[in-house]
Copies of this chain bind each other. A is one copy, B any other.
Amino acid sequence: EIQLCGCMLPLTGDVDLKHQAKCSPTFMDNFAVNSPTGEMNATESFIHHAMEIILEDAVKKATDVREKVCEWRSPEQLKELLDLELRDKGESESRVLQYCRDAIKYSVKTTHPRFFNQLYAGMDPYSMVGSFITEAITTSLYTYEVAPVFTLMEDTLLRKMIEMIGWDEGGDGIFNPGGSMSNMYAVNLARYRYCPDIKEVGLFAAKRLVILTSQEGHYSISKGAALLGIGTKNVYIGAVPFMVNATAGTTVLGAFDPIEEIADICEKYNLWLHVDACWGGAALMSKKHKHLLKGIHRVNSVAWNLHKMLMVPLQCSAFLVRDKTSLLQHCHSARATYLFQQDKFYDVSYDTGDKSVQCGRKPDAFKFWLMWKALGTTQLEQIVDRAIAMARYLAQEIKKREEFQLVIEPEYSNVCFWYIPPSLRSVPHGPERWKKLHTVAPVVKERMMKKGSMMIGYQAHGDKPNFFRMVVISPQVSREDLNFVLDEIHNLGQDL
């Protein structure tokens, strides 16, 4: 029947006569080119059922503190539980809905109040709804004509963020698929400003260029240096520096480079100063904490992720540049004529696509715009203030308990600490103790994941053995959750 009427949805049992009559097939390549649209009802019912599952399992249950953070299965077990195989024949609606339930069930609940494993957490209903709309509308931000609403919303947000950074003369910017991309944009713009010819002729005749950053800078700067033909070895040392990367909120410790002092040097030597504020940028929302980024109005570019502390669903990441010479456009443009016709009937400066190194680009800004409208700047500020206050509360609790030790006094919402099991308390400080301490966090992590009670990241850092890194983000996290975290680590690790 499918071949005959050319519709995509399978006809079951008796073929509807009315349906057949509507078809009166025209054949092309032995394939009918007609299409009835009567099956929309089945589609609607499927979407409706799926939305119920999403609301129940992925929203309500996933954020319920009484539920597990994760339903741990090893790759081998999970492969058996999920029927992963892709077949020739499509499966029934009820099977597909079951796949949806299973996908949610075995996924980690990153919106759960006890998920502290990454620099994102919590659930904001407004930006989540925004994300559903952008997915349903499915468009790309290259031209105003295909994304008029989202183009204007992105523009609104970029202006607002530039204002918060303090670039009084204005600037430019673009939303990217993540902070790594935003940091790479900074490397590329800094290089372009240093020598625009590199865009056309490459680096082959260039002097060796280097990027200066701290050991604590995010690895995306190294990845960017590798990708952009600068080389990872040119991130720290010698030759002609063309860019300095300062970090506002490092990944592990949550530390902030002193932007004012770095800006003094960069201004003196005319170096591009980029601030990777992917994690720490949220502090700009807070009157109380924005001092952490003091001097940011003096820098050339900023990477700022809204999908971290500000809770927009992944991805929502802005790159902002203090520039009025269309550097973003000049540096990245390829002037594709099939998209960026200059004889259009509207102001083509609203076609932002050629500022990107991508072609298609998701309208991520809408999610943040809708959230901002709903919460207002005031409540966004409270998300940040509360997250940092929670981190301070946790640090205070850690200091009260002899089985815990802070790695460093928190500057932001990262709280890095060791759990010291009773067996280790009598071991004198020295290599032996550190070696044993190093094995504690991985075992506690394994146990918490298999239990599903919470998720917290851990890592070694410099010469320091494995420690936990807690980040508090979600407004759903209560004091009780933080007390639970410390109690639970002790429960899981006291026999070690």
Q: How far is the CB of A176 from chain B (nearest CB, A)?
A: 8
Least CB distance from A463 to B in Å reads 13
Interface size, A (range): 35 or more
Which of chain B's residues have a CB closer than 8 A to the CB of A107?
A: 137, 139, 147-150
* A8 and B382 within 8 A (CB): yes
A154 to B205, CA, bound (A): 41
A459 engages B386 (CB within 8 Å): no
Residues of B within 8 A of A335 (CB): 219
Asked if A63 is an interface residue, CB under 8 A from chain B, the answer is: yes
Binds B, one of A194-202, A266-274, A418-426, A486-494: A194-202
* Contact partners of A314 in chain B: CB under 8 A: 138-140, 360, 362
Contact at B137–A58, with CB atoms within 8 Å? yes
Determine the distance from Cα of A280 to Cα of B148 in the docked complex, in whole angstroms.
28
Q: Which residue on chain B has the smallest CB distance to residue A106? A: B149
**B interface footprint on A130-153 (CB within 8 Å = 1, 0 otherwise):** 111101111110001111111111
Residues of B near A184 (CB, < 8 A) are 227, 357
Given A48-B55, A78-B148, A350-B75, residue A232 in contact with residue B135 (CB < 8 A)? no
When each residue 112-135 of chain A gets 1 if its CB lies under 8 Å from chain B and 0 otherwise, what string results? Answer: 010001101001011011111101
**Among B34, B59, B200, which residue has its beta carbon within 8 angstroms of that of A44?**
B59
Which segment of A89-97, A241-249, A318-326 sits at the interface? Answer: A89-97
Stretch touching chain B among A11-19, A292-300, A471-479: A471-479
Of A339-347, A398-406, A429-437, the one touching chain B: A339-347
**Chain B proximity of A458: nearest CB distance (Å):** 7
Closest to A278 in B: B359
The A433-478 residues at the B interface (CB cut-off 8 A) are 439, 442-443, 445-446, 449, 455, 457-461, 466, 469, 475-478
A200 to B153, CA, bound (A): 40
Contact B200 A203 (CB under 8 A): no
Give chain B residues whose Cβ lies under 8 Å from the Cβ of A70: 145
Q: Is the CB of B129 within 8 A of A383?
A: no
Q: Which residue of B lies closest to A139 (CB)?
A: B110
**Bound CA span A251–B340, Å:** 13
Pairwise interchain contact B225-A202, C-beta atoms closer than 8 A: yes
Tell me if A20 counts as interface (CB < 8 A to partner B).
Answer: no
| Residues of A209-259 whose CB lies within 8 A of B | 209, 218-220, 222-234, 251-252
Residues of chain A from 335 to 375 with CB closer than 8 A to chain B in the complex:
335-338, 341, 343-347, 350, 357-362, 366, 369-370, 372-375
A87 and B377 in contact, given A33-B479, A201-B233 (Cβ under 8 angstroms) = yes
Residue pair A199, B31 in contact (C-beta under 8 Å): no
A204 with B201, Cβ < 8 A, contacts A313-B135, A475-B8 known = no
Chain B, Cβ-Cβ closest to A331: B226
Counting CB contacts under 8 A, is A160 at the interface? yes
Which residues of B lie under 8 Å from residue A91 when comparing CB positions? Answer: 373-374, 376
Known: A86-B157, A136-B128, A149-B78. A204 touches B208 (CB 8 A): yes
Q: Does A166 contact B (CB under 8 A)?
A: no
Residues on B with beta carbons closer than 8 Å to the beta carbon of A132: 50-51, 54, 132, 135
A290 contacts B by Cβ under 8 Å: no
B138 with A118: CB separation less than 8 A: no
In the complex, how many angstroms separate the beta carbon of A283 from the nearest chain B beta carbon? 13
Report the Cα distance A266→B156, complex, angstroms.
48
Given contacts A229-B229, A345-B443, 20 further A-B contacts (CB under 8 A): A8-B379, A28-B393, A34-B479, A50-B132, A70-B145, A75-B148, A86-B376, A86-B377, A90-B374, A90-B376, A103-B133, A104-B136, A108-B147, A131-B135, A177-B358, A177-B362, A202-B233, A226-B331, A226-B334, A314-B362
A sample of 28 inter-chain contacts (CB < 8 A) reads A8-B386, A29-B388, A40-B60, A40-B63, A46-B125, A62-B136, A75-B144, A75-B152, A84-B369, A86-B157, A90-B373, A90-B376, A91-B374, A96-B373, A106-B149, A107-B149, A108-B147, A110-B137, A118-B146, A146-B455, A177-B315, A177-B361, A177-B362, A178-B359, A179-B360, A202-B231, A220-B334, A341-B442
